[in-house]
Amino acid sequence: MTVEGEILLEARSLRKEFGGLVAVDDVNIQIRERTLHSIIGPNGAGKTTLFNLLSGMMRPTRGQVYYRGRDITNLPPHRIAHLGIGRSFQITNIFPNLTVLENIRLAAQALGKDNFRLFRPAGSFRQYEEKAYAVVKRVGLQGREFDLALNLPHGDKRKLELGIMLAGEPQLLLLDEPTAGMSSEQVPALLEIIHSIMADGDKTIVLVEHRMDMVMSISDRITVMHQGQILAEGTPQEIARNQTVQSAYLGELYGDLAADLEDKDGQR
Amino acid sequence: MLGVVGYTSMGQTAFVRTTLSGLTLGALFFMVAAGLTLIFGLMDVLNFAHGAMFMLGAYLGWQFFTNPTFLFGLAPLILALLAPLFGWLFARLEIPEALQKSAPSLLGLAGVVVVFLAVRGLDILDLAKTAMVATMTAADPLAEATPQEALSIFWLRTAGMFIAGALLAMATSRPGDKTRTVHTDQVRRALIGAGVLLVFTIVATLFREAAPRAVLLWDANLRFFAALLVGALLGAGIGGAIEVTLIRPLYVRPIYQVIVTLGLAYVLREVIQLLWQPLAYQMSRPPLFSQPGKAENIFEWFRTNSVTVDVLGVTFPSYRLFIILLGVLMLVALALLMNYTRLGMIIRAGVQDRQMVEALGINVQRVFTLVFMLGAGLAALGGIGAAPFIPVQPNMGDAFQLQAFIVVVIGGMGSYGGAAIGALLLGLARAFGDYLALKYSLSPAIAEASTVIIMAIVLLVRPAGLFGRKE
Amino acid sequence: MGNDNILEVESIHTFIGQFHILEGVSLQVPRSSITVLLGRNGAGKTTTLKSILGLTPPRHGVVRFDGQEIQGKPAYEIAAMGIGYVPEHRAIFRNLSVAENLKIAERKKGDLDRKADFIFSLFPDLKRLYRLPGNHLSGGQQQMLAVARALVADNQLLLIDEPSEGLAPILIEQMMETIRNLSATTTVLLVEQNFIMASQLAENYYILDDGKTVHQGKMADLVQDKELIHRMLGTAVRSGGAG
Amino acid sequence: MATTKTETQNLSLKRESPLNRLRKEWAGVLILLLLAAFPFLFAWFSGTSVTDGPSRFWQGLMITFFIMAVYAMSYDLLIGYTGILSFGHAAFFGGGAYTMALWLTHAVPVISSRYRITLPGGANITEVVLFVAGILLVVLVVTLLGLLFSAASARVRGVYFAMISLAMAEALHILSKATDFVRWTGADEGLHGVPVPAWINPTQNRLLFYFVALAFALIMYLLVRRIVDSPAGRVFVAIRENESRVRMIGYNPVVFRSIAFVTAAVIAGLAGALFSLWNMSATPTMTGAIMTINALIMTILGGIGTLVGPILGAGLMQIVGQFFYQWFGPRWPLVFGLIFIALVIFLPYGVIGTWRQKRYAWKRAIQKMFGKG
Amino acid sequence: VQQVTPTAEPTQPPAPTQAPPPTQAPTKAPEPVQTEEPVVELGPVLKIGQIGQLSGALALYGLQQTRGFELGLEYASGGKTDEAGRYIIANRPVEVLVRDDEGNPEKAVQLARELIEKDGVEIIQGPSSSASAAALTTVALENKIILMVDPAASAFITGQYFNPYVFRTSRTNYDDVLVIAKYLVENVGSKFAHIGIDNAFGRGSGAALAYAVAQYGGEVIADIYAPLETTDFTPYIQQAMDSGADCLFLTWAGTGYVTLFQQLGDLGALDQMQVATGFGDNASFAAVYGAAVGQIGLNVYHYTAANTEINKWLTEKHLEKYNEPPDLFTAGGMASALALAAALEKTGGDASGDAMIPALEGLKFEGPKGTYYIRPEDHVCLQPMNILKLVDINPPLDDKGRPTYKFFETVYVTKYDELAVPCTLTGEYESRCGDLPRP
Ligand SMILES: Nc1ncnc2c1ncn2[C@@H]1O[C@H](COP(=O)(O)OP(=O)(O)OP(=O)(O)O)[C@@H](O)[C@H]1O
Ligand SMILES: Nc1ncnc2c1ncn2[C@@H]1O[C@H](COP(=O)(O)OP(=O)(O)OP(=O)(O)O)[C@@H](O)[C@H]1O
Ligand SMILES: CC(C)C[C@H](N)C(=O)O
Ligand SMILES: [Mg+2]
Ligand SMILES: [Mg+2]
């Protein structure tokens, strides 16, 4: 298991209300460096909303977000991206009419210093293109570089979604259901990518996911959300055994998962 | 508040008259905007031909009111050409694979050629001109409602149009389209529809000479209200045709709708100028609003039908009060429609995902067409309602169209109530703006700019308009 | 034949554009049962549902609903005969409120009022969200809404496409429960990749591959046939969970 | 920002030798040569003088075409590349035209009657200096306009912005025809007989003006091509595709939209200024909605999201329009409109877009036929 | 002043965008003994570009202008044509190319350039709109080509927009008001309100009105301009009524005229004050002047008012060709043709601007209204103007069923040199005015 490091990201009594609805209810959460931290919880628990707050997409009603000790609560999303926080979306969010390569190249270019070069061809900035190729390879989209993104099968779109995020070389990755809509056959490939990211050694991942077997097998820590609040937090084993979690989220069908997990851990 | 200030600083007469003038303008704006709230506000179609529909309504209504010879003369031909409505009659036709690709264009071309042959030598222009000349008050319209062409020849034309219609129907039946099948029910319905159409065509052909004379013998007031109806119905019909042929293929490409409707506005304007010459006409007011003299109040007007009415001590044309009334009626009709039917909801859903709405058992396509027809019909109704008040000319709709867009945006897309308030706002702003600008020796252009400024302010404060739904 | 099958599909062929997607799919769905359609990604399951409904009308073959031939009718007529549809990826109307999303599915005036209690009892969440616009719902809430929408009108047949997608485990269970309850009154034709779910719900199964029905039978038998499962459905089966 | 080194680099993605480039761009170069030779070729074929009669007229037509092409191109930068539906483009064009015309009519005579600017050698360059100052003024004015538009676009989106932009242009239009300023702008009639400096005066030297316009179009084309191809240009396209995602990967779309607006405004404004020189006038038509609609039509007709498209669209509209007028008389817009509608329905991606698509299909068909060429 | 339709001649569509059909003219001209004349070698064809507004609000004026011009050529040539049916003036066959500027100055300029450059036109005649005329003056100067203005009436054309190539046979705003000002001040009152189109024509008229009534001790106390496309005149009328003027002078043209007049009636302005305006074209009478029977008004031309040989010829020809008598600006079109023809005869067919200027300056010629005189200083064309009394708005048809439009009793017709039209040149040309009256 990876070593737990410093606190990288921290939310302090973060709250988001939509009209009367409290989607995120005074959440305190700490993400430590170089961990894979999963957030699970029933639908509507507020996971995506929490991501939206952390990445600057939405402004919290109240509360703060700190990144490496710095208050980033009200920074616009592009500034937050520049700090090294990347995110992927639950609903695929790519540039449909651009090629795969261009999708990723744009993301690679975003954090460079050449965005405002108006009179030099983009192609002459080799560094971004090279980086883009590297990312394409990493997410396994070789051979499709020049396909338009909208023509990709769903699974590949999810990979591209990931690639766009990776190209920005974020330190902290917020992944919102990366397997959403993928068939089970495609999941292992994705797991592979996640593993390789963690293998870099300097990355931190926050993952939202409903596939329990996957969550249980790869997470260092798991936070369970329910109705906007944090219900429990702990290691996968702790969570799997947690009665509250079982009744609120996992249900009977997965009751035996805990036992399952014990073996798996051994193998890893 | 503003009213009080205006009242005291302007003096009663000026204030009342300017207010009434603003209300008339507001009503006119609303008449155009009413249809636009449906087409633009709900269906998201940036319809730049809406002003042209207004103009078309005015021409058709005016022509019907003063001398409908032209309209009746044309009716059989147009009816006969409607066959493509029943295109699916031919959907079961099996066509050799090799021909499938070229068949539609060949058939379509053949159809167009037959249309051309059928109307060749028929002086539609002349027909229009006789009818038009008769509209000059000096001449006797009855005298001009003359027969145009021997029935024996005219039959041939009608038949030709029918054949053309059938050819076009075949062309639009998408021969060889593998993604399509047709249920026996549909074919039966198409057959019935086509039969009804045939009967209508025959009737229209037989009565094309008698009908205009009969209409001209009606009481002029009756003729005026009939003209309102006819203008609106024809407008709706044309709107339907436009939706089916031009708009429907483009729901997936909204910008191109802009372009097509722009082109259409162009074409309609040119066609009008071709038929009625590039001139301007003034439609006379129906007798109901044109008896000499002044009524002391509305009630007296019911008796006298005089041309002006005294409103709060101000002389005001009775027809303009009628325009205000027409605007209010349109609002009421729209409110009833939108509140008591599910139209609005269906359209908003359909804009987003047509297939799903269909899967719920709703004929989306028909709803869209209906709504477009309704919008176009309202514009046409506005046009004919306005015709006795403003000159009937090819670009009469343009200024109103721009205002109507602004009205819809101010009110918030899809909100007819918002559109009404927007129209009122713009109308009053315009009238008072003009008044004040003149008073302070500024040009009225400055007042014209006020509408634009109002919109900018509204949108900057409320980006979705006054009553718009937030996205 | 006849009356015991509410839906009969006989060797339909469907094209999308130039692509021949279904090349002979046949199904029989007995009344008041749950029938599940299985198959790999891209096998043509969704297309089959759409063909039944007339959204992608079949070029050849027969679809019989309640004894009546319906192939070639426009989709809205077919749906109005009493078929409810829960599409994959939910397809709820994002710019309509939850209430409107339900209201629009009414076929008769007052449908919703009659069914409201029933629907809220199945999905209590929706009551709370009733006035929210559809795009404010979380992924799972949208899925519930999509199912609820199909229940508003009186449907004799429900076509449900992958209802478990993106649902939290506990909700998958609830969803199963719901569908089981529904089948008491309505017939359900279900497409489901989550084999655990499918196997626990359905009585009959059909397996599609490459646009053709390749296997059919009683679910009870299929569960025994591990080899077939593996061959036809790939790894889909094991990864349980929300897979 | 461009250094000398980058200037020599290729415009397309890969670095290539100049020779290679020429080979790739031979069609463009050929067209350019043809255009440059056009006045002489035309005169030669029609057997008329280069400076008179029909030659002169056709040069005029081509000048309008060049200017309109640039204008349409600037519009495409917004609608085609950045995905902003603006109905206020005439404000930039008209703004440029009016600025230039007002400057030349009202400021230049006064200034040059009071001051003289000479080179050390004694040559009088007042006129040139003032002319250049006029161009800078145009750039300044339309830049401000562009910023105004982009500020509005930061607040409202989609059709709402389309309407706001329409309204803003309309406001300018109203100003341009307001009687209050009749002494300066000529109100409804506009400014006519603008005193264009003799050395660039289109009536005195049409041929020279032809080349000025051609050079202008060429430079603008290369410029826009560069911009579109630059890192920033790529971001424009990304904004068109998915703005919220652009923000999430670390770009500030407001800034990039402003850049797009200002560039489009400056290019359109310069086109407008040249147009006012060419017509020696500035009229309310140039700020009116028709002007915007023309841009839209030219862009869509030729092909949205391409650079050659708008140019071609401008050509179709100017040149083909001229022929239509000759063939069909004053009702020619009827025919034009019908053809136009047919094109939009049947060539959904404009002339260029459709050609590109078909070209690909043809290529494949041929490959198939000859078993993988 | 205008309205509405090409009355009663369904067979003759007013689509005069091509040159007049060459085949029809010769048969109808007073057939000269062409064949017997000694064959003279004809000079090159002289192309005249005629720009008029053939669509939109002023469309009827364009029509009258083109018909008048053609008849003028016929008259001036004595009906002599070449084999293509072109009238021969100064030994040159004249071809007229008609274009529609839609009342848009920019379009007018474009068309003029095209005519000059592509078609080799040597003289421009027209247009209907003063705004277009103002714009065309620069084209005339650029190309050193004569611009013969008619019917555009703004005084600015021979005022601030003047250059030596600009001539006119149209009256100016000053003619309009000077002819009636005395009568109005003496009989109606001294306080005037003015509602005019917000363009060169209207503003020119406003300036002229102020000048003219001041001559007799009157005063314009409200000078109001409304855009040409105005549909609701309420605020303008309200303003005029508020001003307390005795007399409202209207300067309007085109279709909006009917609307304006109607609204004046509706809002009670006609009861409150006297309204004065030019009597407009024949077709609009019934619609516009219903309430004005018995009133006195000014008029530019009405065929019943002019008692000249040329007018008789014109009326006859016009009736014969178009089934109705000539209209408001038919005479103007004809006068333009006559003036040009006279000058061309003088120059021996040389149509170049520099040759024509001396020939036209100071030209005195007989036209349909009587004697016209082109002032050499500012090229203003002095001409007779009418004061008419409206007696009947529904005059009977003639024996052939054609309208007669006999609305008027002639009160007075001025001689060309009777009205002291001021010289309004400005800037570098101001000194040309010499001792002409100045505003
Ligand atoms: N823009 C919004 N406006 C109003 N309510 C919202 C909005 N976005 C989300 N919500 C509500 O906030 C709650 C949390 O939603 P969120 O999308 O964060 O859930 P989630 O945990 O990601 O669920 P899922 O697993 O289904 O995606 C839900 O009840 C949802 O309806
Ligand atoms: N619009 C389309 N154009 C071309 N091919 C399509 C289209 N829609 C679907 N297909 C193809 O049709 C086949 C069947 O698709 P369908 O959606 O029915 O599969 P499915 O069994 O529902 O798969 P999944 O499990 O992924 O939902 C697939 O190969 C797909 O690629
Ligand atoms: C009387 C009209 C011929 C005057 C014309 N309307 C003009 O603008 O000058
Ligand atoms: Mg979520
Ligand atoms: Mg599917």
- CA neighbor of A194 nearest in space, from A209, A251, C59, E300: A209
* pTM of the model as a whole: 0.87
Q: How far is the CA of C44 from the centre of ligand 2 (A)?
A: 6
Q: How close C95 comes to chain B (CA, Å)?
A: 7
Whether residues A75 and A18 fall in one domain? yes
Give yes or no for a contact between E195 and E264, defined as CB atoms under 8 angstroms apart.
no
Whether residues A165 and A189 fall in one domain? no
Q: How far apart are CA D257 and CA D81, in angstroms?
A: 11
- Boundary residue ending a domain (A110, A142, A169): A169
The pick from E171, E201, E284, E298 for probing ligand 3's pocket by mutation, whose C-beta has the most ligand atoms within 8 angstroms, reads E201
- Beta partners for A29? A11
Strands C34-39 and C204-209: parallel
Helix orientation angle between D321-328 and D332-346, rounded to the nearest 10 degrees: 130
pLDDT (tens digit per residue) in D37-76 = 999 998 888 888 888 888 888 999 999 999 999 999 999 9
Q: How many Cβ pairs closer than 8 A exist between chain A and C? A: 96
- pLDDT at position D16 is 56
Nearest ligand to the C-alpha of residue C40?
2
Give the residue with greater pLDDT, B322 vs E17.
B322
The pick from C15, C20, C21, C90 for probing ligand 2's pocket by mutation, whose C-beta has the most ligand atoms within 8 angstroms, reads C21
Whether residues A124 and A207 fall in one domain? no
For D143-179, give one letter per residue: b (16+ CB within 10 A) or e.
Answer: bebbebbbebbeebbebbbbbbbbbbbbbbbbbbbbb
Whether residues A184 and A259 fall in one domain? yes
Whether residues A200 and A241 fall in one domain? yes
Residue type, B256: Y
Classify domain C5-82+155-233 at the CATH topology level. Answer: Rossmann fold (3.40.50)
pLDDT (tens digit per residue) in B190-248 = 888 888 888 998 898 888 888 888 888 888 899 999 999 999 999 999 999 999 888 88
- pLDDT at position C2 is 45
Contacts of E272 in chain B (CB under 8 A): none
In short, whether A130's Cβ falls inside 6 Å of ligand 1 is no
Give the residue with greater pLDDT, B264 vs B156.
B264
pLDDT (tens digit per residue) in E371-423 = 999 999 999 999 999 999 888 888 888 888 788 888 899 999 999 888 889 99
Interface of B with D (CB under 8 A): 40, 44, 46, 246, 249-250, 253, 255-256, 258-260, 262-264, 266-267, 269-271, 273-274, 278, 402, 405-406, 409, 413, 442-443, 445-446, 448-449, 452-453, 455-456, 459-460, 463-465
Give the residue with greater pLDDT, D156 vs A262.
D156
- pLDDT at position D220 is 95
Is chain A touching chain D, with at least 3 CB–CB pairs below 8 Å? yes
Q: How far apart are CA E148 and CA E340, in angstroms?
A: 8
Q: How far apart are CA E258 and CA E266, in angstroms?
A: 12
> Looking at chain E, which subunits does it touch, using at least 3 CB pairs closer than 8 Å as the criterion?
B, D
Contacts of D330 in chain B (CB under 8 A): 278
Whether residues A50 and A151 fall in one domain? no
Phi, psi of A139 (to 5 degrees): -90, 5
Boundaries of every domain in chain C: 5-82+155-233, 93-146
- pLDDT at position B322 is 93
Q: How far apart are CA E228 and CA C45, in angstroms?
A: 66
In short, whether C137's Cβ falls inside 6 Å of ligand 1 is yes
pLDDT at E7 over 60: no
Whether residues A56 and A104 fall in one domain? no
Give yes or no for a contact between B63 and B71, defined as CB atoms under 8 angstroms apart.
yes
For chain A, the domain total comes to: 2
Least confident of B280-284, C31-35, D220-224, E373-377: B280-284
- pLDDT at position B247 is 87
In short, whether C135's Cβ falls inside 6 Å of ligand 1 is no
Q: How far apart are CA E420 and CA E432, in angstroms?
A: 17
Q: How close E252 comes to chain D (CA, Å)?
A: 15
- Beta partners for D60? none
In short, whether E151's Cβ falls inside 6 Å of ligand 3 is yes
Contacts of A87 in chain D (CB under 8 A): 248
pLDDT (tens digit per residue) in E202-229 = 988 999 999 999 989 999 999 999 988 8
- Boundary residue ending a domain (A169, A201, A227): A169
HEC-encoded secondary structure of D2-13? CCHHHHCCCCCC
Could you give the C-alpha distances from A19 to A16, A63, B38, C144, D157, in angstroms and in order? 10, 17, 29, 21, 23
In short, whether E255's Cβ falls inside 6 Å of ligand 3 is no
Give yes or no for a contact between B60 and B71, defined as CB atoms under 8 angstroms apart.
yes
- Boundary residue ending a domain (A154, A169, A184): A169
Q: How far apart are CA B71 and CA B67, in angstroms?
A: 9
Whether residues A11 and A138 fall in one domain? no
Intervals of chain A under pLDDT 50: 1-3, 255, 257-268
Contacts of A248 in chain C (CB under 8 A): 170
CA angle E2, E7, E8 (to 5 degrees): 175
In short, whether A52's Cβ falls inside 6 Å of ligand 1 is no
- pLDDT at position D302 is 86
- Beta partners for C159? C85, C189
**Per-residue pLDDT band at E29 (split at 50, 70, 90):** very low
Q: Closest Cα to atom 22, ligand 1: which residue?
A: A48
pLDDT at B338 over 70: yes
pLDDT at B74 over 60: yes
Whether residues A165 and A176 fall in one domain? no
pLDDT (tens digit per residue) in D291-302 = 999 999 899 888
Query: What is the torsional sign of CA E221, E227, E232, E235?
Result: negative
Give the mutation candidate from C15, C19, C76, C132 for the B interface (greatest B CB count, under 10 A): C76
Whether residues A71 and A94 fall in one domain? no
Q: How far is the CA of A156 from the centre of ligand 4 (A)?
A: 20
Nearest ligand to the C-alpha of residue E205?
3
Whether residues A186 and A160 fall in one domain? no
Least confident of C30-44, D288-302, D303-317: C30-44
In short, whether E172's Cβ falls inside 6 Å of ligand 3 is no
SS3 call for B293: strand
Contact state of E239 with B438 under an 8 Å Cβ cutoff: yes
List the shell of residues around ion ligand 4, using CB closer than 5 Å. A 48, 90; C 139
Strands E166-168 and E146-149: parallel
Reported residue count of chain D is 373
Closest residue of A to C88, CA-based? A181
Give the residue with greater pLDDT, D239 vs D203.
D239
- CA neighbor of B385 nearest in space, from B21, B30, B16, B19: B30
Q: How far is the CA of E135 from the centre of ligand 3 (A)?
A: 14
Closest residue of D to E227, CA-based? D188
Whether residues A80 and A209 fall in one domain? yes
Give yes or no for a contact between B369 and B43, defined as CB atoms under 8 angstroms apart.
no
**Per-residue pLDDT band at E30 (split at 50, 70, 90):** very low
Give yes or no for a contact between D278 and D328, defined as CB atoms under 8 angstroms apart.
no
Q: How far apart are CA B125 and CA C217, in angstroms?
A: 72
Please spell the DSSP secondary structure of B403-435, one letter per residue: HHHHHHHHH-TT-HHHHHHHHHHHHHHHHHHHH
Contact state of A111 with D250 under an 8 Å Cβ cutoff: yes
Residues 6+ apart with CB under 8 A from D149: D86, D88, D91, D165, D168, D261, D265
The pick from E3, E54, E65, E128 for probing ligand 3's pocket by mutation, whose C-beta has the most ligand atoms within 8 angstroms, reads E128
Closest residue of D to A81, CA-based? D250
Tell whether C139 lies on the interface with A, counting CB pairs under 8 A. Answer: yes
Question: Which stretches within B67-209 are classed as H helix?
Answer: 69-80, 97-100, 103-119, 124-134, 141-144, 151-172, 184-206
Residue numbers of the domain that contains A164: 90-169
Q: How many CB atoms lie within 10 A of CB C88?
A: 16
Closest partner residue to C169 among A19, A47, A250, by Cβ? Answer: A250
Q: Closest Cα to atom 22, ligand 2: which residue?
A: C46
Q: How close B423 comes to chain E (CA, Å)?
A: 15
CATH of the domain at A259: 3.40.50.300
Contact state of C74 with B360 under an 8 Å Cβ cutoff: no
Closest residue of B to E2, CA-based? B280
Is chain E touching chain B, with at least 3 CB–CB pairs below 8 Å? yes
